Amino acid sequence: MENILQTQSLTKRYGALTAVNELNLQVPKGSIFGILGPNGSGKTTTLGMILGVTRPNAGSFSWFGGHHSFEVKQKVGALLETPNFYPYLSAIDNLKIIATIKEIEHPDIEGVLQTVNLAQRAKSKFKTYSLGMKQRLAIAAALLSDPEVLVLDEPTNGLDPQGIAEIRNMILEIGQRDITVILASHLLYEIEKVCSHVAVLRKGDLLFQGRVEELMGEEGVIEVQSPDMDRLKTALATIQGIEKVKEQDGRLILTLNREMEPSELNRELARQEVYVSYLNFRKNNLEKQFLNLIKSTPDHETA
Amino acid sequence: MKLLKIEWLKFKGHPFFWIGMGLYALCMILLVSKAGSIEWTTQNPDNPEGGTRIVNFGEAGFYKLPYIWHNVTYLAGYFKFIPAFLLIFFVSNEFQYRTYRQNIIDGLSIGEFYTSKLWSALGFSLISVLIIGINTWIIAMMYNEDAGSADYLARIDYLLAYFAEVLFLMVMALFLTFLFKRSTITVIIILLYYFIVEPLAGLAIGSPVQDYLPTRPSREMILQPFTRLLKLDAIIGNASAEGVPLRPLLLTFFYTLVFAAGGWFLLKRRDL
């Protein structure tokens, strides 16, 4: 699959501290790509580098296979840390500045404000907005240039449960539109809810990169493909130990809830006269302790 | 044009911009129109031993061409801090609100952001010259009915000197704002430096080195016009300037470039 963003050994040091250590990321086109890690794991530093505001000490990155040019910035809508706007200006005037910077000739300011449900307050000054509204305006701003990629840094941080739900639904809806979303979060729960892919960072090191299902499956995941996918699905429904089945890129991703050897699955499918053209097993190799650290329930989210 | 438009959108939405510019224009208008009624107690030039007399600026020829340009731009120099403070306020906001970083994320390069601020500095300087220039021209017409256009243009180099003086302060303010990122500290530093640190340092160092300190040339372009106005030159043995001296003018432009380069250097090597 085509990658819209690729980093090669991207490294940032602050004095003795290595904030990001030789990071290699591949963000597939069309994915909702989560960057997961506790505070201080290097998420924002990574985003800062790929957005061109933090200078890497080593390594490189490429957008759409090329340099980080003005054309790339036009195609990428991004929000880093907090929503940053001119507090004394209205939503409309703030978006006008962004449209001028991005050289958008006929910006659909009304449209993006409607998308994020801010049309009613379009003329209010930014400083009168609640945090949730500020976050939504940031998403509106990122959508203004009709981007191919949306980069969001902790977009639900500090929001109340209703605000969190709104933002998440918005991200999912945007993901449907053929926009690639890169989302940094310290909440496994959040990544699980909205992302298709995830990279896990700890103290600047990449621990894991892949599909969310692979991260979630306690006993690992199996990817299968068959010339007759419908029969494959029917057969899988009868097999014990499969917690979840998800279709992606013509393959089925099985999340397991008990130990299962690939041969066992293969045997069972063959017994039902379903033959696979692809079978791949991936054991969950993440340290459980770390997972527990970043695992959280919705109750803890506002922390 | 794009950069100017962005700056304009940032300025026009803030009441401080309109209040500041309104105040600046008002000060200039009052300055030019009221300076003529200032009265000053001085020695009597007609009779040096004969005590003092009261001189009215207007009657003494404050508005007479071509000296009006010199008289007016000298006094206006004190008000150049109004646009400088506005610029410091708006540029430090970009750091406080992190909109500088957001501008870069959204598509500006660091060079474009920097250039947009230089445009603002230039814009304030041009507006300053326009305000004082139009004001002076109008009042000069009222007081010099028999003057020809050559009389108006005779000492118009003071307008250029005023432009250089304001632009220098703007670019210096820009540099200090890039350095400190906060408006309060920048305002305090620029006032302390301009009015206390450099003059004292100049006294300590003495000539000729003090003539080459950064802000000194910008003050030496337009020297005080009062000793001529009050006809005291002969008494105290002073020779009032006939036009803007070239060396301070060139030095001012030089230091403007130095601060502009310094500002660029600061932005370029820092993470956002």
Confidence band, pLDDT 50/70/90 cuts, at residue A296:
very low
DSSP character string of chain A: --EEEEEEEEEEEETTEEEEEEE--EEETT-EEEEE--TTSSHHHHHHHHTTSS--SEEEEEETTB---HHHHHHEEEE-SS----TTSBHHHHHHHHHHHTT-SS--HHHHHHHTT-GGGTTSBGGGS-HHHHHHHHHHHHHTT--SEEEEESTTTT--HHHHHHHHHHHHHHHHTT-EEEEEES-HHHHHHH-SEEEEEETTEEEEEEEHHHHH-TT-EEEEE-S-HHHHHHHHHTSTTEEEEEEETTEEEEEESS---HHHHHHHHHHTT---SEEEEE---S-HHHHHHH---GGGTT-
**Is the per-residue pLDDT at B82 higher than 70?**
yes
Residues of A within 8 A of B106 (CB-CB) are 73, 78, 98, 101-102, 141
* Coil/strand/helix, residue B55: strand
Residues of B within 8 A of A51 (CB-CB) are 105
Would you call A270 an interface residue with chain B, using a CB distance cutoff of 8 Å?
A: no
Could you tell me how far CA A62 lies from the centroid of its own chain? Answer: 18
* Interface of chain B toward chain A, CB-CB under 8 angstroms: 2, 5-6, 9-10, 13-15, 93, 97-99, 101-109, 271-272
Confidence band, pLDDT 50/70/90 cuts, at residue A293:
low
Q: What is the mean pLDDT of chain A?
A: 87
The residue of chain A nearest to residue B90, with distances taken between CA atoms, is A86
Dump pLDDT digits (tens) for B117-133. Answer: 999 999 999 999 999 99
Confidence band, pLDDT 50/70/90 cuts, at residue A300:
very low
Q: Do A80 and B101 make contact, defined as CB atoms within 8 angstroms? A: yes
Confidence band, pLDDT 50/70/90 cuts, at residue A302:
very low
In chain A, % of residues over pLDDT 70: 91
| Predicted local distance difference test score (pLDDT) of residue A216 | 66
Residue predicted with more confidence, B125 or A301: B125
Q: Do B105 and A90 make contact, defined as CB atoms within 8 angstroms? A: no
Q: Please state, in angstroms and rounded to a whole number, the distance separating the CA atoms of residues A109 and A93.
A: 10
* Coil/strand/helix, residue B44: coil
Angstrom distances, CA of residue A39 to CA of A35, A186, A294: 12, 7, 10
**Is the per-residue pLDDT at B45 higher than 70?**
no
ipTM of the prediction: 0.86
Q: Do B101 and A78 make contact, defined as CB atoms within 8 angstroms? A: no
Q: What is the mean pLDDT of chain B?
A: 88
Q: Please state, in angstroms and rounded to a whole number, the distance separating the CA atoms of residues B176 and B191.
A: 11
Dump pLDDT digits (tens) for B92-120. Answer: 999 999 999 999 999 999 999 999 999 99
